Structure 1
Amino acid sequence: MTTGYTPIYRVFKGGEDITGRLNDRTLQIRVDLQSGNGNDDQCTILIDDRDWRVARPLTGETLQIWLGYQEVGLAYMGSFEIDDVTFLGPPRNIKLVGKSTGATDIQKAPTIREFDNKSVSDILGQMAQQTGLGLSISGDLGALKIPFKNQVVSNLHMIHELERMTGAVAKVVDGKLMFAKRDGGETTSGVALPTLVLQPEHFGTWQVRYTSKPGYGEVKASWFDKDEMVRKWVGSPVTSGDGGVGLAKKFGGAFNIGQLFNSEAEAKAAAGSQAENLKRAEVQAVFDLAKGDPWIRDQQTLIVTGMRDGINGSYVIDKVTHTYIKSTGIKSQMECKLPGDGADYAEASKEFMRPGPGETLGEYLRTHPNVKRDDLTQRDIDAIAEGGFTTNP
């Protein structure tokens, strides 16, 4: 097992490899991979402009970024459109900030239209087509019917409204609108993802926080029954995530969603989604890895073991930040939440990935051929470039 790694990166601009031009200039590359909720994947690059000889970067340019190690390979971070260029000094630096390609193209102006008995896939497909985006959506989510929806907001707002109602992750990745079940442990194509298992030696620092908030035993949502001309309510229980002590048992009241939905199906979906959100909010964990691991992705399922109760357990990675720093190497930080459905991943009948001490997930993938590339997909864990691992930037 490899214990020492040489950090590397690769940057393409408009299909051209510009890594060689940046090797003496790149001070830092930071990539934030986020699980929707209105947040886009983002990159921040800090360039040394000490002699003012760097060609002026322009907003609108597209960069593709990889991070990794010479001895292992490169992990694809994504394609980003630069929407902010800042010249700094002293010292003379240039900071580039970009969002996932296509994320800024979604219409943000209000639109008035009606969707009558359309599926989520139909609605999102129309919005993606209007913007020129591709669409990748989980089958169960896409088939959900919306009897009637009156849109008076922007496409962006509508997408996130559907995200909250259905308990999905909506985000734009490489020019494609992704819509997948939150905490589902699957890709948008329905392929199950292996769960990552980490032990104390994998972590640099950690923080697991339990917050005492008023607990709810149930989430209720209402819908209008057009046949009986009355408002009706449906409910979804909130399960406790603190070993049975249960803030929900302490309070026991209901969380009522103020919005009136058009159908019982919509109301049930919204109540279930909000119940899962309340559970996720019970525990928040931040794990800094001892060795940066750019193969780890947002929405990846995680088991922490070998530590104490209160830290050990099942998590879902809500956000992961990978940072290449010229002077120190690669750092990775994971912001995690509880699974919304209360799942114990240790009991799940799925494959587990168990990197050894000092081993990155990329090295594990390379040395364990039983983990197939098709089980991971490019965005979830794209450790393998076309034709195999890339070991030179």
Structure 2
Amino acid sequence: MSKRALFNVTVAGTNITTALMPVLLGLQVSDKVGTHTDSADLEIDDTDGRIVLPQIGAPVAIALGWDSEGMRVVFEGTVDEVKSSGTRSAGRRLRITAKGMDTTGRAKEGQQRHWDGATVEKILREAATHAGITQIEIDPALRNLTRGYFEMRDESLIAMGERLSREIGGNFRLTGGRIVLSKRNADYATAIAATWGQNLHSWDIAPRLGRPQFGAVRGRWYDVAAGAWQIVERATGIDVPSVYADRFARSGALETTQQGKSDAATTARDAGEGTVVIEGNTAAVPDGICTVSGTRPGVDGSYRIEAVTHTLTRAGGFVTTLELKQPQLGAGTDARAETTAPVSASANVPPIIDPDATGPF
């Protein structure tokens, strides 16, 4: 028996699911690590103008799921844009775009402030207070990291949060009226399976990429007391000879070390990449793990989820697209290379004959 996809959409406190059912052409929710917020798009057949035009800033909540499993909220945010379009051939369309953060709020407003010897938690909380945000979730491993000196020069909370997260190896997000600062490459969620013959629709994966790989990362800071530059180097765990050097000097050994950890985590994450499309799965979240199987040796293995996109359409049903990075647990390594002798490329190729020579060469 086939499963039936379910959805639920609430706008400005009103459940519009019933009104949407006969006119919804497509729904998409996207969430990506390293971007400040998630997004949602609804495309509606607007022939009869059945849906009341939503106001910018109106709260939006979207849930997706299956009739046999129930639904889960995959998006909370506010309306960012409403666009009407129409042609003689294609008819009338209404597209509603929503963002996880309130794009009309003060989070995008520049601030002038600085901190001396402050923790990451203090910096974020004080900057968030100006933006009217009180809910802040910070990974315990990042909460008490300190900055010798940190400033905002007409910088928004969004831009500052993303910059700070890059320095300390975190991922900054502002969604549903709250700030989330998670640790890069941490294990927060249960692994999602993408198995050929079961839930895997398609894959497009490069399990190893040469250019982003570095065997070590290097940073520097100026020691005033010694009157000399100090170098801090950290291995990434990747067996290549190249070294990534941070372009900017840091204020001290502590911040140089923290930046090195962040750069090493980024290098490990970027070592491979790919995309899989699976049956709709609302348990998939950015920074979680996806275990791919049934493709081929060297590609099967575990990967870090970089981005999650849920799509519901009339033609394609409910599917989830996962952008993958950071190959792990065998991904990128064909174990057969260690046990099987390689086959010569010229084993079955006839010799080349030079008509001016006396024999093959």
- If the TM-score is normalised by the length of the shorter chain, which range does it land in? 0.7 to 0.9
Q: 1:168 to 1:15 in 2, by over 3 A?
A: same
Q: Does 2:45 match 1:38?
A: no
Q: CA deviation at 1:119?
A: 0.4
Task: Specify the alignment match of 2:295 in structure 1.
Answer: 307
Work out which of the two has the higher radius of gyration on C-alpha atoms and give 1 or 2.
Answer: 2
Q: 1:94-127 deviations in whole A, cap 9, x for unaligned?
A: 0011110346635445433221010001111112
Q: 1:76 to 1:181 in 2, by over 3 A?
A: same
Task: Specify the alignment match of 1:180 in structure 2.
Answer: 182
Q: CA deviation at 1:230?
A: 3.7
Task: Specify the alignment match of 2:345 in structure 1.
Answer: none
Preserved CA contact (<8 Å) 2:43 2:93: yes
Q: Distance in 2 between matches of 1:106 and 1:278?
A: 34
Q: Distance in 2 between matches of 1:143 and 1:106?
A: 26
Q: CA deviation at 1:173?
A: 2.2
Task: Specify the alignment match of 1:231 in structure 2.
Answer: 229
Preserved CA contact (<8 Å) 2:30 2:307: yes
Q: CA deviation at 1:19?
A: 1.3
Task: Specify the alignment match of 1:61 in structure 2.
Answer: 58
Q: CA deviation at 1:214?
A: 6.7
* Residue pairs, 1:225-304, within 5 angstroms: 225-240=223-238, 246=239, 248=240, 252-289=241-278, 291-304=279-292
Q: Distance in 1 between matches of 2:196 and 2:212?
A: 32
Which stretches in structure 1 are left out of the alignment for 5+ residues?
Answer: 187-192, 241-245, 346-393
Q: Distance in 1 between matches of 2:130 and 2:42?
A: 31
Count the aligned residue pairs.
324
Q: CA deviation at 1:150?
A: 3.0
Could you tell which deviates more after superposition, 313-322 or 293-302?
Answer: 293-302
Q: 1:174 to 1:48 in 2, by over 3 A?
A: same
- Which among 167, 170, 185 is matched to residue 168 of structure 1? 170
* Residue pairs, 1:370-385, within 5 angstroms: none
Preserved CA contact (<8 Å) 2:194 2:276: no
Q: Distance in 2 between matches of 1:214 and 1:194?
A: 27
Q: CA deviation at 1:212?
A: 3.1
* Residue pairs, 1:337-352, within 5 angstroms: 337-338=325-326
Identity of aligned residues (%): 22
Moved over 6 A (4+): none
Q: CA deviation at 1:180?
A: 0.7
Match of 2:53, SS state, is coil
- TM-score normalised by the chain length of structure 2: 0.83
Task: Return the letter of the residue paired with 2:304.
Answer: V
Q: Distance in 2 between matches of 1:173 and 1:163?
A: 16
Q: CA deviation at 1:52?
A: 2.9
Q: Distance in 1 between matches of 2:275 and 2:144?
A: 35
Q: RMSD of aligned C-alpha atoms? A: 2.1
Between Structure 1 and Structure 2, which shows a larger proportion of strand residues?
2
Q: Distance in 2 between matches of 1:279 and 1:104?
A: 36
- Which among 25, 33, 54 is matched to residue 27 of structure 1? 25
Task: Specify the alignment match of 1:205 in structure 2.
Answer: 202
Task: Specify the alignment match of 1:336 in structure 2.
Answer: 324
Match of 1:162, SS state, is helix
Match of 2:248, SS state, is strand
Q: Distance in 1 between matches of 2:267 and 2:79?
A: 35
Q: Distance in 2 between matches of 1:259 and 1:103?
A: 32
- Which among 187, 194, 203 is matched to residue 190 of structure 2? 194
Preserved CA contact (<8 Å) 2:287 2:304: yes
Match of 1:295, SS state, is coil
Which stretches in structure 2 are left out of the alignment for 5+ residues?
Answer: 332-361
- TM-score normalised by the chain length of structure 1: 0.77
Q: Distance in 2 between matches of 1:130 and 1:224?
A: 34
Preserved CA contact (<8 Å) 1:102 1:176: no
Q: Distance in 2 between matches of 1:86 and 1:279?
A: 41
* Residue pairs, 1:76-95, within 5 angstroms: 76-90=73-87, 91-95=91-95
Task: Specify the alignment match of 1:141 in structure 2.
Answer: 142
Q: Does 2:310 match 1:322?
A: yes
Between Structure 1 and Structure 2, which shows a larger proportion of helix residues?
1
